[in-house]
Amino acid sequence: MRCILKSCSSFLIAFCLAGTAYGQDGQTTFSDPEKTVQDVFWKQLYAEGGKTFFCGKTFSNKGFLITQGYIYPLAHIRSTLKCGTLSQCEKDEHYRYIASDLHNMIPVQSSVELWRRNASYAQLTENQPTEKCDIRATLREIEPPNAVKGDVARAVAYMAKTYHLPLTTAPQILIQWSNDDPPDEHELQINTLIENLQGNSNPFVTDPAQITRISDLVL
């Protein structure tokens, strides 16, 4: 596990040495979710714009129509940690490090994020009609577009393994999505940029075959 000691508090140094407080190989660089979003996600990772995650819509700057989303929903993380409300969880150091992890953040159209942000992922039946950006959705579940199913699977696997979070999607579905949609050049590039910024990569991106063991890697 890597740690930037210049920025570590005594608490964080203990965490870095122990290597297990927040999960193996978790990020140890950022501890302020809001500041990480504003100063790192938008101003460094997507400083020159990019494409929205689910819809593939090109943007040159954030604007009010684009927001940050979280592949593994923060509401699910708060529920697992049992840290209370959003304001209560923001005082929890464990939660702040997890919520600041760039591997879980994506640029999303605000209108899409509004209705999908707390949903679980599932492989829905073809009888379920596609909605905006080829997303299938029920009241509590969504099936992402084929173009990003692998990205979703690898991010969910990373969050579950790294921070000991529960899988809210069946492992066999994640494995299938990852196999059908392997990492492309963009995903590999983003993974490298994030590693340079926060000090760790997503192993399911660098070695996609690892996802076949996801059932054994999470609690």
The predicted-structure confidence for 115-155, as pLDDT tens digits, reads as follows 887 889 999 998 888 888 999 999 889 999 999 999 999 99
The torsion defined by the Cα of 75, 76, 82 and 88, in degrees rounded to 10, comes to: -20
The domains of the chain are located at 25-217
pTM of the model: 0.87
Whole-number pLDDT of residue 25: 75
pLDDT average, residue stretch 199-210: 97
State the average pLDDT for the chain: 87
Burial of 121 (C-beta count, 10 Å sphere; 0-12/13-18/19+): buried
pLDDT, one tens digit per residue, over 71-100 is 999 999 999 999 999 999 999 999 999 999
Q: What is the DSSP letter of 130?
A: B
Q: In angstroms, how far is CA 207 from the centroid of its own chain?
A: 17
pLDDT at position 1 over 70: no
Whole-number pLDDT of residue 4: 32
Contacts 24+ apart (CB under 8 A), 116-120: 116/54, 116/69, 116/142, 117/69, 117/70, 117/73, 117/75, 118/73, 118/75, 118/76, 119/73, 120/76, 120/168, 120/169
